[in-house]
Structure 1
Amino acid sequence: MDNLLGLLRIHVKRGINLAVRDMNTSDPYAVVKLGRQKFKTRVVPKDVNPVWNEDLTLSISDPNLPIKLTIYDHDTFSKDDKMGEADFDIKDFVEAMRMNILGLPEGTVLARVSPSRQNCLADESCISWTEGKVSQHMILRLKNVERGEVEISLHWIDLPGSKGL
């Protein structure tokens, strides 16, 4: 843990138009994985547009590793069905964190990340200075599934005693 840079809080806001995996709906939950760390949201029953509004916090040692978000449909009697996944990286976010940003006006956009083949962004993602900290809002298009997007935002938490950025 000596090389811990800090914590990344991932606010998993909501799913948009997720795939149907049960009769005519799904019981979705999100799982976020980085290395051996794995966290999940609660299950939202019978909703293909679930609102989780949950924070999942990862310890970050290597900002170059991609983070994987997977959506599952909770099933009571069988294995949960996968409802798509999205990888995202935090390289641009960490770059923005390293800028000298003191004294910037509220809401200043530090960087924009455009959707590309290399990422799962459904729309342009802005990294901005909000409430005295850097945050990034993104809508991820799920892959390996017929449809669905997940809205998340990233926030950095500096840890006392960590290496920091």
Structure 2
Amino acid sequence: MVDRLLGLLKVRVVRGVNLAVRDSRSSDPYVVLRMGNQKLKTRAIKNSVNQEWDEELTLSIEDPTIPIKLEVYDKDTFTADDPMGDAEFEILSLFEVSRTDLAGIPDGQVIRKQVPSRQNCLAGESNIKWVNGKVVQELCLKLRNVESGEIELKLIWVDVPRAKGSSKTT
């Protein structure tokens, strides 16, 4: 399966903003990322609806057209964890930018913009940039199926060494 690996996606779960209350006055939220058969999660943060995770999760990318699902839950000790909303985001644009020739691009340069639409969960415009030799995208996702909440993420594309006989298209 390594032959199909296109790269790694580092997803920094930065923070949650105005998340829903699921316990008496607060929540103990954590984030789950799903892509295909991969499932990763952050640690739970106690008693917070505006928390800073600043936690990095890494997904192996074989097909950049598969959307990444994000779910937020309230950690409970004696009962099932309560859902606190979900969102979905695409990485195809980020992948396409990573495959272009970025030689000579100034640091911090915006290469592509994504705007909120009915087809995505973006809370605001999201820029794909060239930062310190890496393709980076910061985005804020508006949670669905819940009364309030947003999750801020930072995506970083990581190329992997190619197998013999294959080459990166530039």
Structure 1-normalised TM-score?
0.97
Provide the C-alpha distance between the structure 2 equivalents of 1:92 and 1:84, rounded to a whole number of angstroms.
25
Structure 1 unaligned residues grouped into runs of 5+: none
Give the match for residue 46 of structure 2.
Answer: 45
Residue 134 of structure 1 pairs with residue 135 of structure 2: yes
CA shift, 1:156, in A, is 1.0
Give the match for residue 160 of structure 1.
Answer: 161
Give the match for residue 33 of structure 1.
Answer: 34
Provide the C-alpha distance between the structure 1 equivalents of 2:150 and 2:42, rounded to a whole number of angstroms.
16
The alignment of Structure 1 onto Structure 2 pairs a total of residues equal to 165
Give the match for residue 119 of structure 1.
Answer: 120
* Counterpart AA for 2:22: R
Provide the C-alpha distance between the structure 1 equivalents of 2:96 and 2:120, rounded to a whole number of angstroms.
17
Map 1:50-129 to 2 at 5 A. Answer: 50-129=51-130
Structure 2 unaligned residues grouped into runs of 5+: none
Q: Secondary structure at the match of 2:4?
A: coil
Provide the C-alpha distance between the structure 2 equivalents of 1:153 and 1:14, rounded to a whole number of angstroms.
10
* Counterpart AA for 2:139: M
* Counterpart AA for 2:108: G
CA shift, 1:45, in A, is 0.2
CA shift, 1:99, in A, is 1.8
Q: CA RMSD in A?
A: 1.1
Give the match for residue 13 of structure 2.
Answer: 12
Residue by residue over 1:135-165, the C-alpha shift from the partner in whole angstroms, topping out at 9 and shown as x without a partner, is 0000000000000000001111112235656
Divergent runs of 4+, >4 A: 162-165
Provide the C-alpha distance between the structure 1 equivalents of 2:103 and 2:40, rounded to a whole number of angstroms.
32
Residue by residue over 1:57-112, the C-alpha shift from the partner in whole angstroms, topping out at 9 and shown as x without a partner, is 00000000000010000001100001000000001111211221111111100000
Q: Secondary structure at the match of 1:10?
A: strand
Q: Secondary structure at the match of 1:129?
A: strand
* Counterpart AA for 1:132: G
Provide the C-alpha distance between the structure 1 equivalents of 2:102 and 2:139, rounded to a whole number of angstroms.
21
Q: Secondary structure at the match of 2:8?
A: strand
Q: Secondary structure at the match of 1:14?
A: strand
Provide the C-alpha distance between the structure 1 equivalents of 2:128 and 2:105, rounded to a whole number of angstroms.
13
